[in-house]
Amino acid sequence: MNFCILRAPGTNCDGETARALEELGCGAEVVHLKRLLDGRVDILGYSGLVIPGGFSYGDHIRSGAIVGRVLSHALGERLSRFVDEGRPVLGICNGFQVLAEAGLLPGFEGTSRFPEMALSKNASSHFEDRWVHLRAGESSCPFTKGMPPVLRMPVAHGEGRVVLPPGGLERLEANGQVALRYALGSGEPAGGRYPENPNGSAGDIAGITNPQGNVLGLMPHPERAFLRILYPDWTRTGGEGYGDGYLLLRNMVEYVRRL
């Protein structure tokens, strides 16, 4: 089992993501985008794909726009095949933005030639770097199955506000595509309140999946919540063992093992 972790100029979470997957017993190869584009590496040679966080190409134009459009135009057919075969694709923060720009999410009718949603500037108008509470939705995504009632992971982004076309939120909910929502510490819905919903996303959405369930984009960083020692209160609550990010990544790995 070997995961491709995509690297492009400006990404900065590929190392942590690779380390987390290796801890779960997987191969994890950090692959520069150029190696995929010039054919030295074939995406179909991997069990799964992770697009990590960061600021790819400096987030010029829009966050994730350049990598998203490059993937769509240069590797669209192979990526569509990758997804159609049921292989997992995980986009974390900037990776979520890339998946939206590439037309892989929300994927109402499969891969789209053009973006069907936007991850726009935060409603607070500034960069949000904080730990948030999350609830896993009743979605088709196996990566979020069996989660505790409340999860904690960090966010760090300036453009994470989910914006959908008219009827888009209702369609996501009807399809079971809302995988994660921002919540209060009690587990109750954030209800759009700031800072519990740190960016003003519609429906408190923190992560969505495609209808098939094997493509997940989320703004929180599971690789930064992989170990308890990474939590800001670890000295008070104990730093032993794994964090909530471990649960999501473990589920993704277990999903691959069942394919």
What are the catalytic residues?
93, 221, 223
Q: Are strands 2-7 and 27-32 parallel, antiparallel or unpaired?
A: parallel
Q: Is 235 exposed, middle or buried (0-12, 13-18, 19+ CB in 10 A)?
A: exposed
Q: By the 8 A CB rule, do 48 and 87 touch? A: yes
Three-state DSSP at 198 gives coil
Q: Is the dihedral of CA 82, 88, 93, 97 positive or negative?
A: positive
Residue 93 CB contacts under 8 Å (≥ 6 apart), including other chains: 13, 52, 53, 54, 155, 156, 157, 160, 218, 219, 220, 221
